[in-house]
Amino acid sequence: MSELSIINKKKYLIVCFGGMSLRMGGIPPFEFLNYLRNVYKNECDLIFYIDIHQCCYHKGIKDISNNVDETVTYLNSKISQNDYDKVIFMGTSAGGYASILFGSLCNNVNSVISFIPKTILNSPVDEKYSNLHNFINSNTNYILFGDSNIKNVNNCHHISQCEHLKDFPNIKIIKVNGVDLKKLRDENVIKNTIDNIIYKTK
């Protein structure tokens, strides 16, 4: 199953993209979805996607789409099904790349929360989408969590992947000594980040 969703026509929509392990930073999709549901059960619709093809969603979402452009069309249809006050895209690693890419290309995405994202792909399936610098828009706010512990610049999670996008005024980079989503979840960092988006004035 490539799509897990809890849709009850709430005020807000959170869309999550799993990484190469088909998880959200080591957390299984159902577990992460249940975490969000327990925290925001009366306020948020939730959707979680995984990339069965393991290529940063360039081949689409299995049984839903075949490429980036088809995925954008599909996600736009999901967003338009309800008049959401705010829409948040989230992801980790390859899913962090997807959250930035689709958060930039889709309609009415207010914020992106991306953990250790890839922002430049060395061997992309679709060369058009190899560099996220080309797709950042001025209508979406981006929060990137980068790992300052990684010293090897060739590591796809090196902080330079975040800093590649630092010149945009609507991008905020948060440097963490070791990005561990379970720890960020348990210490309420994820919740506080989402809360600051949902409850801040427009």
Domains within the chain, CATH numbers bracketed: 3-199 (3.40.50.1820)
Establish how many alpha carbons lie within 13 A of residue 114's alpha carbon, considering only the half-sphere containing its beta carbon.
Answer: 33
Measured CA to CA, the distance from residue 129 to residue 96 in angstroms comes to 14
In order along its 202 residues, the chain shows pLDDT tens digits of: 899 999 988 999 999 998 876 556 567 766 788 889 899 988 999 999 999 999 999 999 999 999 999 999 999 999 999 999 999 999 999 999 999 999 999 999 999 999 999 999 999 999 999 999 999 999 999 999 999 999 999 999 999 999 999 999 999 999 999 999 999 999 999 999 999 999 875 5
Decide the pairing of beta strands 111-115 and 3-6: unpaired
Contact 40, 14 (CB under 8 A): yes
Using DSSP, state whether 14 is helix, strand or coil.
Answer: strand
Can you give the pTM of this predicted structure?
Answer: 0.94
